[in-house]
Structures are given as structure tokens and as C-alpha cells.
Structure 1
Amino acid sequence: MKTSDFYYDLPKELIAQTPLEPRDSSRLLVLDREKQTLEHKHFYDIIDYLNEGDLLVANDSRVLPARIYGIKDETGAKVEFLLLKQVANNRWETLCKPGKKAKVGTKFSFGNGILRATVVDVKDDGNRIVDFDCEENFFTTLDKIGQMPLPPYITAELKDKERYQTVYSHELGSAAAPTAGLHFTTELMDRIKAKGVKIAYVTLHVGLGTFRPVKVDDVTKHKMHSEHYEVPEETAKLINETKKNGGRVIAVGTTSCRTLESVAAMYGEIKPCEGFTDIFIYPGFEFKVLDGLITNFHLPESTLIMLVSAFAGYDFIMNAYKEAVKEKYRFFSFGDAMFIS
């Protein structure tokens, strides 16, 4: 398949700039793969499509306020750092703008000096390895001065940092939110559990590569970024029990999906483990775990629209996207959702 096969025309005004309140008031496009039907609902209606004995698997990763603004010690020139990946304790792989100001040995300060940084290496891709120094805990300091690394298509200011976190986020480490989970409220999750649906968690720290465009024409030639994941013992047990008892395993988001299918592909089963995955799911992929998927609407020609096309069928998904555009659904991170069963 060609990357261009996954293009669809999206009016700019349909790209959601701000989250809705309450979270579960967003719209929900319900897709039934067997019946090939579409239904227009709201996210709080998701409970009507979940059955006793089903299992939701969500990603509990928490987004770092990883964008920080500071000055170069020598000249006072302004810089922007985006923390990508923790290499050691206070050592991070970082995207620096402008990069020419961040040579090895250069020092910077952030937040009126409460955080200091020294560039210790420059990688082949231009990213910098940076050592940070602060009096308080690094993450506490980051929480004070950092901003959420919102995707480039969101230009509106985010007034409440917690709106780019899921209500169940716990494990700090993502550079972007697992956005399908943004629609859940604590109350909705309580109602889902009361119906006899269990909820389990995996952790996959979302990297900025999730926004990286596919630059090759032949889909199969694309190389995925690598992301760290963890499947706890309790989650593995619940997935295996659910499968054994005939319930459905429903992933909340493409990150949960990629975690589960990575583990199944590697071990032939779901078991407690952690590691890195660069799994690329596109049409033709054989799913071993998933029975359902909750997901947002993804960018044209992205690896994520390829993933949902693999799960639901290419024609069915592309038609669903056309319908969503026609019905003026809100798209991308702060947009509406889709439930594929």
C-alpha cells in the first residue's frame, strides 16, 4: 500500500484546539466491523457498548511538562528545550531550538535559575544530551516551570495542564498524551466497573515520533520510533482470564494496542514484561489480542490511521473518516472519539 492511500481531506476548522467539558461530552462514532455499520453517539454512551466480562486496557503513562524556556549563560540569548527521553538520572536527550546555540559545554538556565543545564553531547540526528542540575527534585522543578508539549497543530493556549492528562495517568514519562483516554471521567469509569467491566493498565511512554510523518511512498519501508512499555502481572492475568472466559479485550488507544500486540507477537501470549517496541501495524497485520479499540481521529497519512485501518478494514475506516468530516466531528488530540467493535 502507498502512504497516499491514507490521505483524506480535513478542513482546518475541524482540528480541535481546546478540550471539551466535561471530558465525556465529546462525540463518539461507533463502528461495528461485523455489521459494517456506523452510529453517532456521545462518549458517555460508551457504557452501552461494553458488556459484563469485557476488559478495558488503558495506558497509564503521564505526560511530562517537557517544554522549557530559558537563556544561554554567556549571551542571555533565548532558547527552547524539549525533553525527549531520560538517559540517566538527570541526563536527558533533548531537542534544542535554536540548535546552533547548544554546542557541547554550553550552559543554560531556566525558571530564573532554579534549573540549570549543560550540553554534554550532540547526537547524529542533532538532538542534544543534556545534564540538568537543580536544588529540588527534578520532576518537581519541571512541574513548576515546564509547559505541556502540545502537538504542533494545537495553537491555542492550554489553561489547565491536567486536561492533557488522563484522569488515571500515573507513570511519568510521555512526551505526548495517550489521547483516547482523555474522554474518560472518574464517574464514567466507576459506572463502567459497576456494569461488570474490568479495567487494567499498561504503560507505554509516548514519544514525539508519534507525530513524525511517514516520508516514504511504500508503507512497508517506514521505520517506527521505539518506545518503552511495561505490562504488569495483574494486567497480564486479567487479559488471559478475559480471553479464557470469552470476554472482549478492548484497548483504550493505539498505544495500549501497540503494547499488547507487541508482547503477543514477541512471546505468543500476554505475560508480565517490559521493554521497547517499534511495532508498525498496517493493513495485513494479524491481531492476536484485540477485540475492540477506542481511539481518536488521526492525521492523514499517519501510522495511526494505518493501524486503525488494519483493525477495522481499510475501506470501512476511510469511509468512516469521510462521514466524520461530513458530520463535522472534532479531530486529533482534543477531538472526538471512535469505538470499533
Structure 2
Amino acid sequence: MTAILMPPPTPDAAERRLLLVVDAPSLLHRNHHARAQSGLLDRSGRPAWALHGMVRQIIEAIEGFRPDALVCGLDDRTASIRRELYPDYKAGRAEKDPDLVDQLDRAGALLGALGLAALTPAGLEADDINASAARWAREHDWNCVIITSDRDAFAHISDHTRVLRLIDGGLHGSPLLTPARLHAMYGVSADQYLAYAALRGDASDNLPGVEGIGAKTAAILLDVAGSMDAVWADLDHDGGRSVVAALDGWAAETGVRRLGATAVRRLMASGARARYDFNVTMMSGRDDLDLGLTPDVPGSVGLFPLDVDRVRRVVGFLGVAATTELATRVLSGAAAAPAPLSAT
């Protein structure tokens, strides 16, 4: 397998240990849609194509990144603090295929049986594990790579944290986003991304943005003003005059039409500030969760190598010999013994 390459690290960053964070539901959803036609069943006869694809990609990511520790985040499928706050959260999404639901419900037990750290925060989501892992890495001076398809994770990108944004090409066709690459894509810095998303909104979560403020205007506003705190302060205390002047100055320099007065009028419209604040609340990941990581204690959950017999038994239950062999080599460091499984 071709290794997944990190961008050239700074001298200090090169000395840090690496925490790999996997948004398990992202992998399960993508593998369900990509692999459903295989009809793969585990040894008990239950659907396993999404589970197998998730496990296979986790193994490939471990082989490529060679992390010192790994945590997998899962969604609490029995309760949602965000949905309690906003019943229409994620409304409008297509109803999940029952076979996908079955595999989502079994994922945590499978990962735990394998010996990986699989965390389901009560009432929360894998996004919150991503946020907490990014904070943990910063506070412990580790590097961190988050594997997810969720754009909310872009707010965690920093000198310590990168995001491997899953797209249709799989792990090797997905971009590894750094602060510079994020800015090139959206025109905002990572520490501005949450504000940018709150202004723009997120249709996938059924969160409308501030009316009349699209992605382009949001990026320009943040670039010119520096922060939404500065914008709101100027609106509150000076009617937005400084924001208008800054935006119109930018327009004059770049040769486009002036947008200052229009942008300020939309930001001062009834409900605009409340919409922005609400989106920030909904989009902010909880970053204070206990990940249970004790990396200096040998044998702790989340560390490698894993028990070879456990790996063979658990991955072997999925019924794909090639994946069992790969898992045995990568996760336990042991040579894979022949197994009487059908290859798929």
C-alpha cells in the first residue's frame, strides 16, 4: 500500500507523537453506499459491507500514518442534545437504509472487541470526539489527524491538527487539509472557519445561514474585519460604519462593486445576530470530553500493537481473508496465519 503522506513538518512538529482520530460514522456511511452491491455478510449472516469497509480503511490509515495512538468517535444514536435544542437538526436527510442502521448500531462493539478505543459520547456525536481530540493534541503537544467527511472539523485545523477530508476517491484520493490549504480553499483561516460556517449556514444539518450572507461575502467580511466579534462591536457601537468603510475599501482595491452597506444592512436585520449565535452553538464541537488516553501506560486502549489472537478472531468474523491478513500484520505486527475464509 502506498503510504499516506503528511505535509513536510516543521522541526518541532516532527518530534511530536501522532494521534489519529477516526469519525467512524463517516466511514460507515461512505462504505455502505460504495459497497452495498457486494452483499457481504459476516459469519452470522448479517450485513457487513459497511463494517468491513470501515475496518479496512482504519487499517490502511494506521499503516499509512503510523500513529502512536488512535481513537474512533461514534454518534450516540439513542439521544441528541442538539436535536433537543433544535428538533429540525439534520431534518430533510433521506431515511437510512435498515442495513446501514444495523451496521451503525454494531460498529462500536466491533471496534471495542478489536481493542481499539471506540468512544460514544452521551447525547453527542463523533464531531465532539474530533473537537476534544484536537484540544487534547494541542495541550499534550502531539500532532493529530482527523479522518472525516464533516466540514465542521475544519475549525480544528491548526499547527497541531490536520483533517483528512473523505471524498469519493477514498483515503488516498482525499485531501489532507492544513491551515494553508484550508485558506486556499475557503479564503478564511482555521480560527475563522466556525464564524464563516455560522454565517454561511450548513444545509446538510438543516442550519440556514444569515439571510443574504453567502459563502463569498462571509469570507470577505472575515478577511477584512478580522473577526465577527469586531464586526458585531462596530454594529453595536457605531452602526457598522467601520465595517462599511473596510468592505468598500476592499472593493475599491479589487475593482468590484461596493458591498459594505448591503452587508451591514443584512447583518443588522432582525434575527441575523440570533441566527449567527445559534449556528455557532450548534456547530461548535464539545472539546472537553475525556478520551481516556493514557499513552505512557503500556497496554492502554488506543495504543498499538493489538492482541494478535483478538485481531484474527474479530476481523476474521467479517469473512474477508485478505483484510484479516492485513489487520494481523498492521495492528499486531505479527505474520498472518492462513485462515479458512472466503476472499471478497
* Bigger relative contact order, structure 1 or 2 (CA pairs below 8 A, ≥6 apart): 1
Question: Computing the radius of gyration over CA atoms, which structure comes out larger, 1 or 2?
Answer: 2
Structure whose residues are more often helix by fraction: 2
- Calculate the TM-score normalised by the size of structure 1: 0.28
